[in-house]
Structure 1
């Protein structure tokens, strides 16, 4: 189902000191009292119409044997993410905003940590929303939002508001959303995606404060429709997106002019029932092979992605859900007139391909993969998942996924290896304090050991532990 303007999810906290103080207060208060009142809202006097939420997350992560072609062999990072969200509902008009402060420390000077990990004091949302009441059919609702927002479309494989990274993309423009009484949904939008700043490695390492850039040099617009009950409780989705990009003196680009057409059918997991998801995305248009100013040669774009998943949740106390996945995302071949590498755009790879941040080896570009996952929920406060994936290159002459590792001759083959990953989450205090830990192991195959620009031939190991306070 298309999820747009997820203002009520992951919302939360301002500066780190304030958040830490709130965390200490939460840890000493009775659990029953914490669940009855929002501490921030209570502090503000709980005026009618005001929504106020916050969160603070602290994470430690370590990496051994880098999978990327660049970056240190081993790395460490201690990151912090604080979020504060506020919205005031006057009746037909809502006024909202969200501030994020994402910082990191301890990483090596040549770390791969970037704008996904560091984006200090950024107002990712600032909007006016008008509730338009019933439109087109009885019992429907409609809203028009103007300003800066966050977006997630469908599965989030092209446009997402991910939770694992510290920072997210924001979009400035207009979003129209309509929902029928039967829960069908229509979304139309025109936006300017922000370029997250600072993006220079030295500024990232110093946690520099620089507001994200928006410009009509980069625009993203589209239309999506969700049918709530297509058949047997399944959702059907179709969407069309358009990305238009051009150079500016300070920010050279690949001048992408892409049309993206996607369709998805899915049935959500339910106890004792088969669930599934099938999504296909096609990208066509024009782009350049590089962002170099001297590169003025437009090439035809023709790329696609297919994702298939099938699973079944058990009826036992642990709600065990095994599932199987298949993914293919095209890569560039030897045709000099075409670009066939699938562009992840603003999508989130975490749900399908494991942790990002210092690890982030696998994403939706030049990839073929089959995998199996087991999810368990032993209690309302605890859940866990284990996943394994076999990984191949779609094209042996293109770089693999997000690693930058490439053999232009194709002599290193297609076999990238096997990835194992898992995570456990537990609410220490329900809805208030959660701990999460996870790990990934990439057993490298021939390609990731033999390609000419491999930086480290040993298997990659990654682990993280984080603590999140919500209030």
Structure 2
């Protein structure tokens, strides 16, 4: 396996440009990753672990007039896992046709001054901010959906997006198959679907974006796939000022989530009324110097499940996490669930080939009776407190060869707080996580 990874790394620097004529373009990427962790913060996994992985993407794009056809295969593999490795379909998904869609430019079909596009088939997606529906790029595998997206640009800077999407159930999903990198096609069905839309406003040349959204997620048991029968409505408001050199930037997003969910996947499980919230606020400033420094103060809060009788654990559905909170992969401990977290981040871009950031987050539980974020560490009595620790996070990206070969380093240090040490299934000792990535594009 080591020879295989080294051979791939040697080839990445000269991957050819495979663009064809007559409207057909072939492109793709190969990402080799090595990640390691000491002091795993998630419950139940190995205290220390390491994973070498490889993600290969091959895309074909054909355009003719207003019609575009896209096909894309994701091949995501990991090696060196054992039964104690917290491996999942987030990490492994072999030879999956993640995209196979048609997109049509319908022009002003909905009225003068409008422009409508319709996309249908299998697709990656990012709706609104991506905090509820996204296709994560840091993870080794990604979220894919089958359905349709209709987007209409209207006069005055308004854009509407309507969706019907069935999230894919990534297969196979058992531990033995994942460790062996076995193949099975993902599936989707109408029992699990996302519906709704977003209305956004941003005038041309303006840094101010405003947005209102409504997304419904519904699921019911399918053959061989019991679910928690979630029926969750999500009403969201978002506003923000884009970063610009020499100016302040700011952002706000709030989501209210309500509906019902089963207490477990058992057929006779009790139905719980759900009521949960998510809030993000940020304030930053960008300097116009050579390194383009940007300082960002941020705060994220997602509610947890307490003792009120109402299910209060915010469900982030299919949202991304790396851009706001922390890496996934072997770390995967901090997401939008039962968390209250102020943070400070410093970003620099010394050149077109190099960018980096370093950040700090304080980590608290929004409710001390629920598990902390996505760790599954819990004290149902609430007696272990609500302080989970301090997280220090950094990333560096460097174009070794512009547009062809990019290196990325990610590192996290988690100084555990009292809750992570004293909860019944917690652990002593701090967490160290690193990942080294080399990505070739063609």
In the superposition, the TM-score normalised over structure 1's length comes to 0.90
CA drift of 1:123 comes to 0.5
Aligned residue among 384, 391, 403 for 1:431: 403
1:139 Cα offset (Å): 4.4
Query: Given the superposition, is the C-alpha separation of residues 18 and 186 from structure 1 closer, same or farther in structure 2, using an over 3 Å criterion?
Result: farther
C-alpha contact (below 8 Å) 1:230/1:236 kept by paired residues? no
Q: Is residue 371 from structure 1 mapped to residue 357 from structure 2 by the alignment? A: no
With over 3 angstroms needed to count, the CA separation of the structure-2 counterparts of 1:25 and 1:299, relative to structure 1, is closer
Aligned positions of 1:269-288 closer than 5 A: 269-288=243-262
1-side partners of 2:225 and 2:11: how far apart?
Answer: 45
Aligned pairs, how many? 440
Question: Residues 198 and 142 (structure 1 numbering): CA distance in 2 closer, same or farther, change over 3 Å?
Answer: same
Q: Does 1:418 align with 2:364?
A: no
2:37 match:
63
1:13 paired residue number? none
CA contact (8 A) 2:18 2:25 kept: no
Q: CA deviation at 1:109?
A: 2.6
The residue correspondences of 1:44-63 to structure 2 (distance < 5 A) are: 46-63=20-37
- The answer to whether structure 1 residue 75 and structure 2 residue 46 are counterparts is no
Contact 2:5 2:32 (C-alpha < 8 Å) held by counterparts: no
RMSD: 2.0
Structure 1 SS opposite 2:13: helix
Q: Provide the C-alpha distance between the structure 1 equivalents of 2:375 and 2:233, rounded to a whole number of angstroms.
A: 26
Hey, what does 1:329 align to over in structure 2? 302
Indicate whether 1:401 and 2:365 are aligned: no
2:201 corresponds, among 227, 233, 255, to 227
Q: Which residue of 1 aligns with 2:432?
A: 461
- Report the Cα distance in structure 1 between the residues aligned to 2:268 and 2:180, rounded to whole angstroms: 31
Alignment of 1:7-406 (within 5 A): 24=10, 27=13, 39-41=17-19, 46-180=20-154, 183-229=157-203, 233-295=207-269, 297-336=270-309, 338-406=310-378
Contact 1:19 1:56 in 2 (8 A): no
Aligned-pair CA distance for 1:377: 0.4
Instruction: Compute the displacement of 1:108 (Å).
Output: 3.0
Deviation at 1:193, TM superposition (A): 1.0
Tell me how far apart the structure 2 counterparts of residues 48 and 362 of structure 1 sit (CA, whole Å).
46
- Aligned pair in 2 of structure 1 residues 230, 335: CA closer, same or farther (>3 Å)? farther
Cα distance change, pair 334–140 in 1 and its aligned pair in 2 (3 A):
same
Q: Give the SS at the match of 2:202.
A: strand
Q: Deviations over 1:96-141 (max 9, x none)?
A: 1110000001123320121111000000111122211124454432
The question of whether the paired residues in 2 share the 8 Å contact of 1:229 and 1:236 is answered with: no
For 2:10 and 2:423, the matched residues in 1 are separated by 50
State the 1:27 CA deviation. Answer: 2.9
Structure 1 residues 55 and 181: CA distance shift in structure 2, 3 A? farther
- 1:57-114: CA deviation from partner (whole Å, max 9, x where unpaired): 0000000011011110100000100001112112232211110000001123320121
Q: Distance in 2 between matches of 1:156 and 1:443?
A: 29
Distance 1:81 1:136, change over 3 A: same
Instruction: Report the CA distance between 1:24 and its aligned residue.
Output: 5.0
The question of whether the paired residues in 1 share the 8 Å contact of 2:157 and 2:204 is answered with: no
- Runs of 4 or more above 6 Å deviation: 16-21
Gaps of 5+ in 1: 1-15, 29-33
- Say whether the 8 Å CA contact 1:420–1:440 is kept in structure 2: yes
- Per-residue Cα deviation, 1:182-220 (whole angstroms, up to 9, x for no partner): 553211111211111111111111111111110111011
- Residue 440 of structure 1 corresponds to 412
Deviation readout 1:217-247 (Å, 9 max, x if unpaired): 1011111111013996300111101111111
Q: Do the aligned partners of residues 171 and 334 (structure 1) sit closer, same or farther apart at CA in structure 2, a change above 3 Å counting?
A: same
Matched, 1:452 2:424: yes
Where structure 2 has 5 or more consecutive residues not aligned to the other structure, the ranges are none
Partners of 1:20 and 1:283 in 2: how far apart? 48
CA drift at 1:414 = 0.4
DSSP 3-state at the match of 1:202 = helix
CA distance in 2, matches of 1:379, 1:152: 28
Cα distance in 2, alignment partners of residues 308 and 181 from structure 1 = 29
Equivalent position of 1:3 in the other structure: none
Query: What is the alpha-carbon distance in structure 2 between the residues aligned to residue 230 and residue 369 of structure 1?
Result: 34
Residues 272, 307 of structure 1: CA spacing in aligned structure 2 closer, same or farther, 3 A cutoff? Answer: same
Which segment drifts farther, 182-191 or 210-219? 182-191
